[in-house]
Structure 1
């Protein structure tokens, strides 16, 4: 058990803290409940969308630590030695294979009892940018790291719900003493995601345009789910730079499809988006890929930010 976990009884906790911390720290095998020593279920999450699921499903029974700090671009994460130790001491790790290579490597080498790969709980597809030689070069790099699959599944409420169901079952198996609560919490979360999906379906059903431009090609699943077309300035790498030919193509697309807005995100520079918008006489707005929550986010959790994204899309696309 990780010594930072909360223990159940107040007086017992004091006694254990005074007399048995060394024994608890040295404990390497899980007890019948799935936790090491009977404390809360200790979950390490790779980044915000995974941490959100763990917290909502686990409730008071879990202690969740995220490897990616607020404001940090998750694609660029390099795990520290301290985080590696933290990972090794956890009861479970929840990550999305293919998004963060350093996490994938650390998880593969760890002895964590329960390893939950969100990518295995739904279906991943290829979403690219129809572009010139520059972007094709980027896509080749992406294929090497991610197997050609787009990892941004959490932006589709339906796929995210599928992942939530799988996480719930993994928690039930890993910590059976609290299985009933995990089932209850999972059901409530899945229902809430269903309601979010319904809001998107209704809100984006009748729009003047179906095309939106964004800096980061993170919204392929969302676009596919709601009958939209994503045109990305960059590819799946938010830091890549577009070629002059790509910028020209986007200007022509904007004019032909009645695009009004170029979207950018909060965790990377908005310079490219604003330059394209200025040249094409378009406005700019935020479409948040929800890779992390910061004080700049339009909400404090997944649902609030997704609702803010819906409003931004409705305005940009001319929803009726």
Structure 2
């Protein structure tokens, strides 16, 4: 890998004639195919929120490209051989360990010291049961504990040692930190520090860009706190368990129909339980998502007799996204939540 302090590279996305420059073209990249000579830092990001934050911090000092093509589901993104090769040539590869297996594999084999895991700065403090369904509502957990306390106690004694070694029952870490704007701001600050290591002479500019990013995200956070503080409905039912950090930040209990990954299909019993929960808690809206088949969420809504609305987890942008960048999509999400949760 060429030393980033002696020569910066510009990465062509798709072709040598198509350059995705930081701050321009905020949508996800289409994979990387070729590299061309020039001045600038080459940054690859695993998926859209990381791409957007990196582009805001880098400004015009770098080329930033996403490894997840527009319209692709970020969890399941696959890399081309050209993408993998580009990982080995990039000055910085911003990824989220554990979120995208294909990206993790390429980073492990190719990135070396260029790899930077955003999860460390994001403070991934939330977990969700990684058991094929994501709802796990508190009242269900308490009811189950009451009905099966003696059985559970006996099972714990019988299997405690096995679980300690095999990790059974361990909850998976929720990776969707960017739905809390303050955590994304923390990632921006840390990115500025990391980029400044590659370009010390640009440290002041990079940190100023990160401060501007933080200001925008803190303004969004203030608006979200003010809007969501007085919601009549505080249970948020979504297609998959992507909104835990949003719920944690703004006082909403999130019930994901699927688990942390949209591909986790709920059982018929799970769907029945969630439908009952929707009815009992006065939920008026079940949220479908961009990039995820709405059929299961629509089934729950139909059975419960409530409406649906689209809530974007901002894992990637498409032509159907309600905005051209993270801030615009989150503003649209806020309006959707204001109506769907009967806020204000």
Aligned partners of 2:223 and 2:7: how far apart in 1?
38
State the Cα deviation string for residues 211-234 of structure 1 (Å, max 9, x = none): 011011000011011110001111
Task: Indicate the SS of the match to 2:82.
Answer: helix
Deviation at 1:127, TM superposition (A): 3.1
> Comparing 186-195 with 38-47, which one deviates more in the overlay?
38-47
1:179 pairs, out of 203, 207, 213, with: 203
Q: Aligned residue for 1:101?
A: 101
CA distance change for structure 1 residues 240 and 164 in 2, over 3 Å: closer, same or farther? same
Q: Confirm or deny: 8 A CA contact 2:129 2:172 kept in the other structure.
A: no
CA distance change for structure 1 residues 111 and 201 in 2, over 3 Å: closer, same or farther? closer
State the Cα deviation string for residues 178-220 of structure 1 (Å, max 9, x = none): 2221111000001111111101100000111100110110000
Aligned partners of 2:69 and 2:133: how far apart in 1?
29
Deviation at 1:107, TM superposition (A): 0.8
Deviation at 1:31, TM superposition (A): 5.2
Q: Aligned residue for 2:67?
A: 67
Q: Aligned residue for 2:182?
A: 158
Count of residue pairs the alignment pairs up:
286
Aligned partners of 2:277 and 2:129: how far apart in 1?
13
Q: Confirm or deny: 8 A CA contact 2:7 2:39 kept in the other structure.
A: no
Aligned partners of 2:321 and 2:206: how far apart in 1?
28
Aligned partners of 1:69 and 1:55: how far apart in 2?
16
Q: RMSD value over aligned CA atoms?
A: 2.3
Q: Confirm or deny: 8 A CA contact 2:44 2:92 kept in the other structure.
A: yes
1:208 is aligned to 2:232: yes
Q: Aligned residue for 2:244?
A: 220
Q: Confirm or deny: 8 A CA contact 2:129 2:171 kept in the other structure.
A: no
State the Cα deviation string for residues 267-307 of structure 1 (Å, max 9, x = none): 01111111111111110001100010111000010000001
Aligned partners of 1:66 and 1:185: how far apart in 2?
20
1:135 pairs, out of 119, 133, 136, with: 133
Q: Aligned residue for 2:123?
A: 123
Task: Indicate the SS of the match to 2:64.
Answer: strand
Unaligned runs of 5+ in 2: 10-36, 135-162
Aligned partners of 1:147 and 1:62: how far apart in 2?
38
Task: Indicate the SS of the match to 2:116.
Answer: strand
Aligned partners of 1:154 and 1:34: how far apart in 2?
32
Q: Aligned residue for 2:19?
A: none
2:5 pairs, out of 32, 42, 52, with: 32
Aligned partners of 1:38 and 1:271: how far apart in 2?
47
Q: TM-score, normalised by structure 1?
A: 0.84
> Comparing 106-115 with 277-286, which one deviates more in the overlay?
106-115
Q: Confirm or deny: 8 A CA contact 2:4 2:91 kept in the other structure.
A: no
Q: Aligned residue for 1:16?
A: none
Aligned partners of 2:5 and 2:254: how far apart in 1?
48
Task: Indicate the SS of the match to 1:208.
Answer: coil
Aligned partners of 2:266 and 2:4: how far apart in 1?
53
State the Cα deviation string for residues 152-189 of structure 1 (Å, max 9, x = none): 00111111111111111101111222222111100000
